[in-house]
Structure 1
Amino acid sequence: MSNFITIFTPTYNRAHLLERLYKNLCEQEYQNFEWLIIDDGSTDNTREIIENYKREGKLNIQYFYKENGGKHTAINFGLEKAQSDIFFLLDSDDFLEKSATKVVAEKWDVIRNTPSLCGIVGLSKFLNKEVRTDAFPEDDWVVSFTDIYFKYKILGDKPVAFKTSVMKEFPFPYKKGIHFVFEAVSWHEMAKKYNVLAVNDLLQYKEYTEDGITRNTYKKDYVKGLAFSFFHLVKNRTYPFAKYPHHFLWNYIHLAINSLLSGESYFNQLSLIDKIIYLMFYPRAYYTYSKLKDKVV
């Protein structure tokens, strides 16, 4: 087993969290990996801390600084810098089970030799709140990433390690001024072409912090990102109507709601049929917007 892994961490002003993650990676049972850190414009002492870690020489650390653009732009940039075929995503406020890299490396031969598979999905555990995280119905389960959530109703944020080459096929869209694009825009588009190998191994511990994306529900930048994200889900037909009719239609409603909340309209960029569906559900979207508009800050 000699599979080289890129552990990818995008970070922004999280210097206070890096020590725990660094120690955690030093304790991994399988050490054949690089730790690729993309600093998305931090103004704290992130660079200084990482340079100290590099001088210690315990890990293969690759550090790059870029102008702040949001996690999705950091992922795109990280894909350009990754030195391995395995792109294992790990946020700065999370950390790994000690056996995580070993599990990924052991399973990777199956992934590499199966063109229809794009990566591995494992299990996570939340530390700072009660969150339901379902196991999979079977181990080494070949399944569409989208079907995990929409067809089989399996809940919980799942850690992922994807083929670097496949992720490069589905980069996140970019628009100046948009600092958030949710991961389904890439992950679920990928699922139209590839399956994943779902394993019932605990790989990751998660902890959402107060400044984390998940708690910025009504910030203006966040709803701008939601509008942009739902626009791409609609435009790309990410959820085909024949397979996911509910989610297909809800994308139009969410696009309208978040366009109204953010003041960012994508209506003129829609196809004729998309405009018709959008207008059909606009009254419902406007009703929800009227309930939420005063909560956007």
Structure 2
Amino acid sequence: MLFTVFTPTYNRGYLLDRLFQSLSRQTVRNFEWLIVDDGSTDDTEELVTQFIDVADFPIRYVKQKNQGKHIAINYAINNAAGKWFLTIDSDDFLANDCLETCQLLSTETENNKFGGFTFIHAPEEMFSEKKTYDIKKWTEYNSYQWEFAGEMVYVFKVEVIKKHPFPIFENENFCQESVQIIPIIKNYKILFTNYILAFGEYLEDGLSQNLYQRLLENPRYALLSFRTKLSVAKTSEDKKLLARNYWDVVLKTKQPKIKSFLSFPFQLNAFILLEKVRKKFSH
């Protein structure tokens, strides 16, 4: 089996049929669908049972207590039957040739230096527009100029992603996926492409009010995420923004100050302190 298509879900039974139908239309059959249910209270399990009865590809369903998407990912990577691991959320769906294209890309990245490849998740309306783009491939992280609101979907070798599980912090249930993805990008080559192969609503991964509240509720994961993102930040502006966010979470959630200070670069700590001093004396 070449691919494990993994879907974490929580009370999204009403959306799963669209993804199931897109998997049923795939032009290749060398994949399994692994669903990890993060403690749903809706009819997800009943619906998946119906999918299993009619599908012509393997479907595995596992239900865990509500612990967060990152814990579901940890379970999935340790139980994946495929050689390649692809995460598709329950509110998204795939182009009919998604896995056939992924199969071709997997042959280009068999070399041990590669950890995986990517394609693009685009707004749902682009599925019906059937636009075509010049196919581009590159290996430098964060060098793509977006023409629309989209994001990269990563397809990793199972043997690679298994080496980078999410850490577990008790009493916290939200961790940004950059904590797992960035270390892989730093240690392996990634073949980035602009194939548009997945569709759905695009939610910008910025500090929206909803995301910001989740970061405050899960401060240890939040601080780890900021430190991880800092390791690949290219501009001084990006680094300063990460420093501001880092210390905002530290101060608002009463994290250990000395430990937090020692865990972040001295120059950025100094920048934040000077910034706070300037603000204090400017009022």
TM-score normalized by the length of structure 2: 0.82
Amino acid at match of 1:34: E
Shift of 1:28: 0.8
- Aligned in 2, Cα 1:192/1:136: closer, same or farther, shift over 3 Å? farther
Closer, same or farther: CA 127–66 of 1 in aligned 2, 3 Å: same
* CA distance, structure 1, for counterparts of residue 70 and residue 261 of structure 2: 25
Task: Quote the residue 1:196 is aligned against.
Answer: 190
Letter of the structure 1 residue corresponding to residue 180 of structure 2: S
The CA deviation at 1:19 is: 1.0
Looking at structure 1, the residues matched to 225 and 84 of structure 2 have their Cα atoms a distance apart, in angstroms, of 26
Tell me by how many angstroms 1:25 deviates.
Answer: 0.6
Q: Match for 1:141 among 122, 128, 138?
A: 138
Cα deviation for residue 104 of structure 1 reads 0.4
The answer for unaligned runs of 5 or more in structure 2 is 127-131
* SS at structure 1 position matched to 2:152: coil
Q: Structure 1 CA distance, aligned partners of 2:274 and 2:33? A: 48
- 2:220 pairs with one of 215, 225, 228: 228
Amino acid at match of 2:139: V
Deviations 1:78-112 (A, max 9, x none): 11110111001100000001000000011111212
Identify the match of residue 117 of structure 2 among 111, 117, 120: 120
2:259 aligned residue (241, 256, 269):
269
User: Which of these residues, 42, 55, 63, is aligned with residue 65 of structure 1?
Assistant: 63
1: distance between equivalents of 2:200 and 2:245? 27
Paired residue total? 270
Deviations 1:46-98 (A, max 9, x none): 11111121122422101111111111111111111101110011000000010
The residue that corresponds to 1:257 in the other structure is 248
**Structure-2 change in CA distance of 1:102 and 1:191 (3 Å):** same
Please give the secondary structure, in 2, of the residue aligned with 1:88. Answer: strand
Aligned to 1:85: 83
Give the deviation of 1:27 after TM superposition: 0.7
| Distance in 2 between residues matched to 1:75 and 1:104, nearest whole Å | 20
Match of 1:292 in 2: none
The residue number in structure 2 matching 1:132 is none
Q: 1:36 to 1:213 in 2, by over 3 A?
A: farther
Q: Secondary structure at the match of 1:232?
A: helix
Aligned positions of 1:1-297 closer than 5 A? 4-112=2-110, 114-127=111-124, 139-144=136-141, 147-148=142-143, 152=144, 154=146, 156-207=150-201, 217=210, 220-225=213-218, 227-233=219-225, 239=231, 243-261=234-252, 263-270=253-260, 272=262, 274=264, 276=266, 277-278=268-269, 280-282=271-273, 284=275
Taking every aligned residue pair, what percent have the same amino acid on both sides?
Answer: 26
The answer as to whether partners of 2:175 and 2:222 remain within 8 angstroms in 1 is: no
Q: 1:253 touches 1:284 (CA, 8 Å); kept in 2? A: no
Distance 1:69 1:287, change over 3 A: farther
Instruction: Please tell me the root mean square deviation across aligned C-alpha atoms, in Å.
Output: 3.3
Q: Which moved more, 1:55-64 or 1:99-108?
A: 55-64
- Structure 1 residues 7 and 187: alpha-carbon distance in aligned structure 2, compared to 1, 3 A threshold: same
SS at match of 2:194: strand
Q: Does the residue aligned with 2:115 lie in a helix, a strand or coil?
A: strand
**188-197 or 35-44: which moved more?**
188-197
Distance 1:30 1:17 in 2: 23
Do 1:24 and 1:95's aligned partners in 2 also have CA atoms closer than 8 Å? yes
